[in-house]
């Protein structure tokens, strides 16, 4: 089997793959895979491709090229989410701090935010999980993918603001 084709297929079929995971699945050294991935990245930069291979954090994933994004949205009727400035404050707080409780969000914003958090959760922007008897809210994977926040920041989001609770 063709190694390059297997790498492309695994990355395409997954929500992204790390070099380590690819190495484990294909039983190939990371150095060799790195060369294959570099070649795939270069090849997909060509005008004949509508997608490109990007690395966000340590995960490789295929993304629609920016010049084709609006066409894809229109053609596939992807749901878009319009956020208010108050909702964007919550999204920004989570981007900068990682998963937060409603109490931590309230403290960062300086005002009650539970109704906004609920609406963001209902819209699929946030996910929640229970930890130590409290809900932690984080950006959903689909929302992170849609806004490619790690790519905008140029790296994984750093946790810089810490609430006192």
What are the tens digits of pLDDT across the range 99-140? Answer: 999 999 999 999 999 999 999 999 889 999 999 899 999 998
Residue 160 maps to a domain: no
Q: Name the pLDDT band for 94 (thresholds 50, 70, 90).
A: very high
Q: Is the dihedral of CA 118, 140, 158, 65 positive or negative?
A: negative
- Residue 76: predicted pLDDT: 66
Average pLDDT, the chain: 85
146 has a pLDDT exceeding 90: no
| CA 137/CA 126 separation, integer angstroms | 6
Q: Name the pLDDT band for 156 (thresholds 50, 70, 90).
A: very low
Domain boundary (33, 68, 103) is at 68
Residue 163 maps to a domain: no
For residue 100, the enclosing domain spans 85-153
**Any idea which residue has 């920004």 for tokens?**
92
Q: How many domains does the chain have?
A: 2
For residues 58 and 89, membership in a common domain is answered with: no
**Any idea which residue has 């390059």 for tokens?**
4
For residues 128 and 101, membership in a common domain is answered with: yes
| CA 63/CA 151 separation, integer angstroms | 11
Residues in CB range of 114: below 8 A, 6 or more apart: 102, 106
Q: Do the Cβ atoms of 39 and 26 come closer than 8 Å? A: no
What's this model's pTM, rounded to 2 decimal places? Answer: 0.53
Q: Which two tokens stand for residue 59?
A: 């995960």
More confident residue, 14 or 138: 138
For residues 14 and 59, membership in a common domain is answered with: yes
Proportion of the chain above pLDDT 70, given as a percent: 85
pLDDT in tens, 28-81: 999 999 999 999 999 999 999 999 999 988 899 998 898 988 887 777 655 666
20 has a pLDDT exceeding 60: yes
- CATH number of domain containing 129: 1.10.10.10
């Amino acid at each position: 089997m063709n190694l390059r084709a297997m790498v492309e297929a695994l990355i395409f079929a997954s929500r992204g793959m790390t070099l380590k995971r690819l190495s484990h699945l294909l039983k190939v050294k990371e150095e060799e895979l790195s060369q294959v991935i570099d070649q795939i990245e270069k090849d997909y930069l060509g005008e004949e491709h509508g997608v490109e291979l990007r690395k966000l954090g340590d995960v490789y994933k295929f993304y629609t090229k920016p010049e084709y994004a609006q066409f894809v949205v229109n053609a596939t009727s992807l749901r878009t989410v319009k956020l208010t400035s108050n909702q964007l404050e919550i999204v920004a707080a989570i981007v900068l701090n990682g998963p937060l409780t409603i109490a931590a969000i309230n403290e960062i914003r300086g005002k009650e935010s539970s109704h906004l958090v609920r609406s963001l959760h209902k819209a699929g922007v946030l996910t929640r999980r229970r930890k130590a008897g409290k809900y932690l809210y984080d950006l959903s994977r689909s929302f992170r993918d849609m806004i490619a926040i790690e790519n905008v920041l140029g790296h994984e989001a750093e946790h810089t603001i810490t609430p006192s609770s």
